[in-house]
C-alpha cells in the first residue's frame, strides 16, 4: 500500500500512510527464497483511559457540548430529514440522514424556513431566511439540494464554507463528495498544509435509510428529485 490514498477516510478506512511491511513481504516473495510468515501487530485501547483520552481509539472533537458562543460550541450535529408533504401541524416521521462532528464554531442549514401558514388547511409555506440550526429548512426549489454553512470559532457572521449537497451517491453533489471526511485534518499536525485544516468532519451518513423509508422509489434515482425535502 503506497499511502497518500485520500478518499473517504471516515467510511472506508485510513490509507494515508504507506505500509512498509507489505512492501517487504512482496519483495521476499518475489525472490522465491522461502515461504513467508507475516505478522501484523495492532494497537489496543488502554483499559485505564478514564482520566485521559490519549489512549482511546478513534477521534474526538475538542468541544463536546453545544453552546450559543462559537468559541465554546462543538460536538456532534445531526441532519434530520422529512418529506415536505408530512410537515404541517404534525411533523410526521423523519430520518437521521447525516452526522457532522464539529471541533469548534457552528453549523447550520441555509435556505427558507418551513413554517405553518395559519391557513384553514394548516398548509405550511416557505419563508426566506439566512440560515438556522434547529429549524426546518427546505431544499432549494430548483435543484432540490440542501445548503449547509460552517463557521469557525472566531467569526459569528461569515461562514468559512457554504456547501450544497444531496444524497444521491451517483452524483458529484453527493454529501460524502462535498464535505471533509478526514478527521485527521481537524488539528495542525505538521504533515499537511495549514490551508487544508478543517474545523469539522462528516461522519455517518444514512442514504440507504432514506431509500428504505421510501424517500425515493428507485435505488438509482436522486434522493432529492422525487420529493421536496426539509431538514432540521
State residue 124 phi and psi, 5-degree precision: -80, 165
Highest mean pLDDT among 29-33, 126-130, 178-182: 178-182
Domain boundaries, the chain: 1-58, 70-231
> Over the stretch 131-155, which tens digit does the pLDDT of each residue have?
667 777 878 878 888 899 998 888 8
> Over the stretch 156-166, which tens digit does the pLDDT of each residue have?
888 899 999 98
Question: Which residue, among 166, 169, 162, 161, has the nearest Cα to 143 in the 3D structure?
Answer: 166
Higher local confidence (pLDDT), 5 or 66: 66
pTM higher than the cut 0.85: no
Report the distance separating Cα 21 and Cα 110, nearest Å. Answer: 47
Query: What single string gives the DSSP state of each residue in 74-100?
Result: -EEEEEEEEEGGG-SSS----EEEEEE
State residue 207 phi and psi, 5-degree precision: -65, -35
- Positive or negative, the Cα torsion across 179, 183, 185, 191? negative
Residues across the chain: 232
Question: Which residue, among 131, 139, 81, 129, has the nearest Cα to 106 in the 3D structure?
Answer: 131
Amino acid at each position: 500500500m503506497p499511502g497518500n490514498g485520500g478518499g473517504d477516510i471516515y467510511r472506508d478506512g485510513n490509507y494515508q500512510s504507506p505500509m512498509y511491511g507489505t512492501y517487504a513481504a512482496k519483495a521476499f516473495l518475489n525472490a522465491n527464497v522461502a515461504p513467508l510468515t507475516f505478522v501484523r501487530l495492532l494497537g489496543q485501547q488502554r483499559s485505564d483511559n478514564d482520566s485521559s483520552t490519549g489512549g482511546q481509539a478513534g477521534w474526538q472533537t475538542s468541544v463536546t457540548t453545544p453552546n450559543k458562543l462559537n468559541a465554546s460550541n462543538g460536538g456532534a450535529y445531526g441532519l434530520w430529514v422529512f418529506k415536505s408533504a408530512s410537515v404541517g401541524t404534525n411533523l410526521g416521521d423523519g430520518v437521521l440522514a447525516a452526522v457532522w462532528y464539529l471541533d469548534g464554531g457552528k453549523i447550520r442549514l441555509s435556505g427558507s424556513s418551513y413554517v405553518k401558514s395559519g391557513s384553514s388547511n394548516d398548509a405550511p409555506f416557505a419563508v426566506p431566511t439566512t440560515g438556522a440550526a434547529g429549524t426546518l429548512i427546505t431544499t432549494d426549489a430548483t435543484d432540490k439540494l440542501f445548503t449547509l454553512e460552517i463557521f469557525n470559532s472566531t467569526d459569528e457572521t461569515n461562514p468559512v464554507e457554504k456547501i450544497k449537497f444531496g444524497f444521491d451517491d451517483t452524483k458529484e453533489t453527493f454529501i460524502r463528495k462535498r464535505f471533509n471526511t478526514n478527521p485527521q485534518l481537524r488539528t495542525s499536525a505538521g504533515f499537511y498544509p495549514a490551508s487544508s485544516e478543517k474545523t469539522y468532519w462528516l461522519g455517518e451518513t444514512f442514504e440507504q435509510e432514506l431509500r428504505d423509508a421510501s424517500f425515493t422509489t428507485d435505488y438509482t434515482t436522486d434522493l432529492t428529485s422525487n420529493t421536496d425535502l426539509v431538514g432540521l
